[in-house]
Structure 1
């Protein structure tokens, strides 16, 4: 039974899907947001000021303001990275952040239904989205939505993408796992700081990625990720909690999910389907950052669908990927190279953390993260970083330069 006709159906109510639905509704399109509900993605929850500004995120959604990072090497040497010029990184809890984004889509005019996407069918030139409503019996008939376009924002293992977009089933993944725990009220300041993120590079915590401790106000996200099959993520988080003195605090919830390692080569099917967010693979290599890129990808997908609806030209859908890669493709490429080399073993991780102590590296890293742009205005700083990286790569950095500053 068909239960509605829409200009667009957005499958998935995370940051990408909720943003796409909001933008399409604001553009006057009849849009439906189909979301499974109750699914919380494992995520450190960091959002840069650029996201807060571009997507009008209210202050009350920030559960913490991070003003520094602590980078920890395999040998427990540290690099302190204070945020430059009094800035901060906002922290959100995905359980509440995603729900707020979905509510905003409804306020903008999108219709919302709870259910699980099953498949897309083509009937007499029409596109039908089949889904199982939440709470429906397994043997109950599927519900159906008639639509002119579909945005697949249903996560890294996107059912929309795997059905409709060539190559969507070949994306490599990091598998992430985290535990949300109570923030300690008795921890020494040197071990836990509610205004500081911690990133740990150690093979026992992750053989090819990193582990993290991110403050969320009254709670803390403690997690890790790896693409290596057989690596025990739960054991790694248990070890990290013990190292950080967080093994005694209460665990609120546990979550795990795959995170894509690179953008797909194609985001649309050439007809009327386009992907966004994790479904399109837009998670930054090396850092694993995804919220900003998901929301931007959702916005670009909405723009592309709006153009398609106005013109009927399916080539408009390819603009979503083209716009995104023009802006962020160079950063993703550079971060991918960095991850493949520096995360390769503990000896390289040790050198990588020593590089993070460099003031030029810290300044340019924060500038690029906060503003989501490659910093090109300081060529001498880039040259110095290049030469220092070359020295580390060739092993020419003296031992004293790898020690933390006093």
Structure 2
């Protein structure tokens, strides 16, 4: 590539994936522009595991709550408590959490620019031109050697540059942030995440009530067209006694549940985060995987810059899937089988009462890897799982 560029890399999107990529590259001394829309907050339960806190140096001051347990609610109303033995789930507010990540990238040397990506113009042998509109709506452009598209599930960067990116399957999520009164309803626990596996609240996913200190996230996801997400939240708030709480804000967005088969265009673009489809099936967890993906995208771009070989961009997906592909596969199977109908959801919640399931679930969540240290537990879970699936286990 000949000719000078304004930036080595333009990162489009300032969520966890984009901000992490921008920070990692800026720390390495690269010229980075972080282009992000103003005022957008993604609907999200806001749960992060201890490993994320360790790996990405997240200060405890960003945690608005420490969840010490989860409660699974079956279609019948039966509940299963899953306490976390010796650990916790960190809860964050996405407005302050994402802004912290963007500010950290800026402190490392990245240039922040508020604006919306419009299109990418590629010229043979020359740096690419990134066209965007700034916060005033004025058309602007900069040149860059590489572009990281971290602009969400309906990524403009992906649609314009990578074949198949526009076909990414999604669950549509909606949540309402409410102010929790000093005297909260008896059923609400400020250190517990409640997950509802009930078909009337979500026919193919789940609904949730997650504590956030002085607020709470009440949300739902579904891929079924025509299903009323707002109606489900209205019903959930009424059922939990949270219908009279003040609503702070509402948000909705598509959430991808399957990694794209290709993340790069073989030339100068690589995707990260929701744009690459790295939200875990079954659980819908995205923050940790987005940040890992952003880090892998940054690493791949760094190698491409150092070697001049655009083929290095493929390393982002290769490395991510090597580390996490098996987990995504297992969770995808779980969602496919257990979220189909209320009969299966009832059995799924029943399985969650098993001590082996609880131990392995929390260990895998907190450490982000499949637990291999207890093969006997895995064998017992497999046999119980098949028994539930085939209807051989008692209800």
Q: TM-score range by the shorter chain?
A: over 0.9
1:349 aligns with 2:350: no
Q: Secondary structure at the match of 1:130?
A: strand
Deviation of 1:124 (Å): 4.8
- Alignment of 1:118 with 2:118, yes or no, is yes
SS for the counterpart of 1:123 is coil
Distance 2:322 2:124 in 1: 37
Provide the residue aligned with 1:196 in structure 2: 192
Secondary structure in structure 2 of the residue aligned to 1:274: strand
What is the alpha-carbon distance in structure 2 between the residues aligned to residue 143 and residue 123 of structure 1? 18
How far residue 166 of structure 1 moved from its aligned partner, in angstroms, is 1.3
Partners of 1:188 and 1:121 in 2: how far apart?
55
The answer to whether the 8 Å contact 1:184/1:246 transfers is no
Task: Encode CA deviations 1:177-236: one digit per residue, 9 max, x unaligned.
Answer: 0000011322344x0010000000011100000000000000000000100000000000
Show the counterpart of 2:319.
323
Number of the residue aligned with 1:50: 51
Find the residue that maps to 1:169 and give its secondary structure.
Answer: helix
* Aligned alpha-carbon RMSD (Å): 1.1
Specify the SS of the correspondent of 2:252: strand
Shift of 1:135: 1.5
1:260 to 244, 256, 259: 256
Q: Contact conserved, 1:213 with 1:220, CA < 8 A, in 2? A: yes
Aligned to 1:183: 180
Task: State the alpha-carbon separation in 1 of the partners of residues 393 and 251 from structure 2.
Answer: 40
> After the TM superposition, which parts of structure 1 deviate over 4 Å for at least 4 consecutive aligned residues?
none
* Structure 1 stretches lacking a partner, 5+ long: 400-406
Q: Which residue of 1 aligns with 2:6?
A: 5
Contact 1:61/1:97 (<8 A) preserved: yes
Once residues 220 and 64 of structure 2 are traced to their aligned partners in structure 1, the CA distance between those partners, rounded to angstroms, is 21
1:88-115 Cα shifts (integer Å, max 9, x gaps)? 1100000110011000000000001000
> Matches of 2:84 and 2:181 in 1, distance apart?
23
Match of 1:209 in 2: 205
- For 2:99 and 2:133, locate their aligned partners in 1 and report how far apart those are by CA, in whole Å: 21
Cα deviation, residue 125, structure 1: 2.6
| Cross-structure match for 1:96 | 96
Q: Does 1:159 align with 2:156?
A: yes
Question: Is 1:82 matched up with 2:83?
Answer: yes
**Deviation (angstroms), 1:37:** 1.4
Other-structure match for 2:232 = 236
Deviation for aligned residue 1:261:
1.2
Matches within 5 A, 1:269-284: 269-284=265-280
Matched, 1:383 2:384: no
Q: SS in structure 2 opposite 1:207? A: coil
Q: Which moved more, 1:163-172 or 1:213-222?
A: 163-172
Aligned to 1:109: 109
Q: Does 1:21 align with 2:17?
A: no
1:212-223 map, 5 Å: 212-223=208-219
Unaligned runs of 5+ in 2: none
CA distance in 2, matches of 1:75, 1:242: 17
SS of 1:208's partner is coil
Q: Distance in 1 between matches of 2:347 and 2:210?
A: 23
Distance 1:124 1:89 in 2: 48
**Taking structure 1 as the reference length, what is the TM-score of the superposition?**
0.95
Q: Is the partner of 2:122 in helix, strand or coil? A: strand
Q: CA deviation at 1:73?
A: 0.2
- Contact preservation (8 Å) 2:176, 2:249: yes
Which string of whole-angstrom CA distances, capped at 9 and with x for unpartnered residues, describes residues 330-359 of structure 1? 110111111011000000000000000000
Secondary structure at 1:295 match in 2: helix
